[in-house]
Amino acid sequence: MPEYYVISARNRFFGPAQGCFIEFEDLLVSCCNAALISPELSHARPLPGLKRFAHPLRLDVPVRGSRESQVLFIVGISTSFVVEVLASIRNWRSRFDLVYAYISDAWLEDAERSQPTWRRRLSRYWSILASLDHLFIPVGGSTAGLARHYGIPVSMLPMACDVLRFGSNRTSRAIDVMGYGRQHPTHGQILARTFNAPESQRIYYHTDHTGIGDVFDFTAHRQLFWKLLGQSKLALAYDALAVNTRKFPCSFVGQRWFECVTAGCLIIGRRPACAEMNDLFPWRDSTIEVPDAEADLVDFVEGLLADRSRLEAAHRRNYYHALGSHDWRHRIATIHDILALKYPDPLNRQLETIRNQHARLSPSDA
């Protein structure tokens, strides 16, 4: 069985989005008996003229434990972290037999696409990424472009959650509407003004009234996050192109959809227009479109909240499908399938646990 190593950015980046990747990394470690490596920023200054050969991260790679294949898996939000990591490991290509990465913000910027091939190949950034054995990304619209640009295999691997640990199909929920992260600003303002008024009996929990720079305790942060989401009846989620504050180049299925169905929330908003959305979320009420007219929003939400049978069916159905299809363990199995690697024993055991729990649910309205 190969020896696995997982490199995490948890000691390098502290934004809230890092929490979902930490949960993925922890499962990689547990399912593959992997060693976890968490590099930190190095404060050593390179000698003048030798910046190209500097090691940006302080990173200790364990020595080989056997003659088995050495598999390195890097998880990050951007390709820049992959470059930082590999630039900090001396002779990384000879140290590891197989090197893979999973990157969430996976698309080429305009400047990268238009760069001449000869100039691109002079870049250490390009040469490091072009030396990967495989790149996994959750953005289907970017796979072909990244594969051409770097000349490496690129596979679409959707986001997921630790459904086995954090999933919920409870039907009694205290929060009426959840709106975390990037949202439709006008819709959020309407719901906050209406549902959070002192005279209202509703609760709209939202985060767009503030900004979170750093998370100091990811465990505490994600535990609270999952508690709040599991207590929410409705959750807002929008196609990235509908609230395109970051100038996303294409539609994609973001982490929010997987988190909301894991927690059993009924999702309302704007369904992603990308082709993979229908493959990933084909079931009834996986997303309900909000009305185009903003004046109709409150009545629309009130109607859904009053329909207890539809809500409770969605809570059960979403959790059922999340457990069956969108647990990170399923993604780890897919990685092994794509790479033609044998499943480690812990992965087999955890997949069996999921299958058994999923079989016990089998809701009639799925």
pLDDT above 80 (res 112): no
Say whether both 288 and 253 belong to one domain.
yes
* Residue 133 belongs to domain with CATH number: 3.40.50.2000
Question: Which residue, 289, 310, 325, sits at the end of a domain?
Answer: 325
Residue 353 lies in a domain: no
pLDDT above 80 (res 365): no
> 107 pLDDT band (50/70/90 cuts)?
confident
Lowest mean per-residue pLDDT among 203-212, 252-261, 285-294: 203-212
Average pLDDT over residues 75-82: 94
Instruction: Kindly report the number of other CB atoms within 10 A of residue 148's CB atom.
Output: 12
Average pLDDT over residues 140-161: 96
CA distance 296 to 197: 18
- pLDDT tens figures, 21-55: 999 999 999 999 999 999 987 665 554 554 555 56
> 116 pLDDT band (50/70/90 cuts)?
low
Average pLDDT over residues 285-304: 97
Question: In terms of residue numbers, what domain contains 111?
Answer: 3-156
Residue 34 lies in a domain: yes
Residues 6+ apart with CB under 8 A from 100: 71, 72, 73, 74, 132, 133, 134, 135, 136, 335, 339
Burial class (CB in 10 A: 0-12, 13-18, 19+), 40: exposed
Assess contact for 20 and 221: CB atoms under 8 A: no
pLDDT above 60 (res 93): yes
Say whether both 132 and 181 belong to one domain.
no
Say whether both 173 and 224 belong to one domain.
yes
Q: With the C-alpha atoms ordered 118, 77, 107, 161, is the resulting torsion angle positive or negative?
A: positive
Residue 341 lies in a domain: no
pLDDT for the residue numbered 42: 67
Say whether both 171 and 139 belong to one domain.
no
Residue 103 lies in a domain: yes
pLDDT for the residue numbered 21: 96
Percent of the chain with pLDDT over 70: 91
pLDDT for the residue numbered 50: 46
- pLDDT tens figures, 311-334: 999 999 999 999 999 999 999 999
Residue 333 lies in a domain: no
Question: Which residue, 122, 156, 190, sits at the end of a domain?
Answer: 156
C-alpha torsion 235→316→25→136, nearest 10: -80
Say whether both 47 and 96 belong to one domain.
yes
pLDDT for the residue numbered 61: 87
Say whether both 169 and 136 belong to one domain.
no
Q: Return the structure tokens found at 148.
A: 């051409």
Say whether both 187 and 145 belong to one domain.
no
Residue 90 lies in a domain: yes
Largest CA distance in the chain: 68
Say whether both 135 and 174 belong to one domain.
no
- pLDDT tens figures, 233-281: 999 999 998 887 777 888 999 999 999 999 999 999 999 999 999 999 9
Domain count, the chain: 2
Question: Which residue, 138, 156, 174, sits at the end of a domain?
Answer: 156
Say whether both 123 and 37 belong to one domain.
yes
Say whether both 18 and 137 belong to one domain.
yes
Question: What angle is formed at CA 172 by the lines to CA 170 and CA 176, rounded to 5 degrees?
Answer: 110
Say whether both 146 and 204 belong to one domain.
no
First to last CA, the chain: 38
pLDDT for the residue numbered 62: 86
Say whether both 139 and 174 belong to one domain.
no
